[in-house]
Chains A and B, each alone.
Chain A
């Protein structure tokens, strides 16, 4: 149950696109199509942004998209807005009803 690997921080200017990577192993990210992404603002609970690798819950802007290749999943935010500045966490099912999170990435909108 080792944490998934995410970059500590990423940044971008308004209107640009940024991509956050999430690297695991064949026992988690690579082994299942159950990667999700969460946005967390300071002092708040996490919010589901992407589930099942690339699906968006109702109400999440289509500027948020997800993908996976091998043992690495990615979250892309296009048309960056100031309100997107937050911490982002990936999560993967790891089998036998266990889950693992990434270490988190701080997104700064310049």
Chain B
């Protein structure tokens, strides 16, 4: 079955960088677009970024544009999120998720278990 396992979260000071990884298995990773979605403590979901199946196209929420970079290594079945110039408001659980097989634009499924990023001095 499809598995998405995030790693790389932790506590980081404001202005510093962190890279998240998401190891994918159980499906043809190189054929699927992938998302990062985050959730601040006690808050709702926020879409962060999307990358096309081949890594050639990348899209971002305005809140992270210019600071975060989504990438993938299809040879390693791994998705990444490079986060630079981190701010307190970036504190959240970050989920890796796959575009739905049933609808590329209309569904995000499944999701990983998430990794917590805390930005604090």
Contacts and interface: CB of A to CB of B under 8 A. Distances in A.
Contacts of B106: 33-36, 51-53, 55, 93
B59 A36 contact: no
A48 B106 CA distance: 10
Most buried by A among B46, B107, B114: B107
A91 B106 CA distance: 8
Interface string B101-121: 011011111111110000000
B100 A91 contact: no
Contacts of A55: 102-103, 106
A16 to B, nearest CB: 25
B107 A48 contact: yes
Q: How large is the interface on A (under 10, 10 to 19, 20 to 34, 35 or more residues)?
A: 20 to 34
Identify which of B35, B102, B106, B108 gathers the most chain A CB atoms within 10 Å of its CB.
B106
B44 interface: yes
Interface string A75-109: 00000000000000101010011111111100000
A32 B105 CA distance: 9
Interface residues of B, number: 26
A36 B109 CA distance: 10
Contacts of B110: 45, 47-48
A45 B111 contact: yes
Interface centre among A47, A53, A89, A98 (most CB of B within 10 A): A98
Given A33-B106, A36-B108, A45-B111, A51 B100 contact: yes
A101 B47 contact: yes
Which 5 residue pairs are nearest across A and B when measured between Cβ atoms? Answer: A51-B107, A34-B106, A48-B109, A97-B59, A52-B106
20 contacts: A34-B105, A38-B108, A40-B45, A45-B114, A47-B110, A52-B103, A53-B106, A55-B103, A89-B44, A91-B45, A93-B105, A93-B106, A97-B57, A99-B35, A99-B108, A100-B47, A101-B37, A101-B45, A101-B46, A104-B44
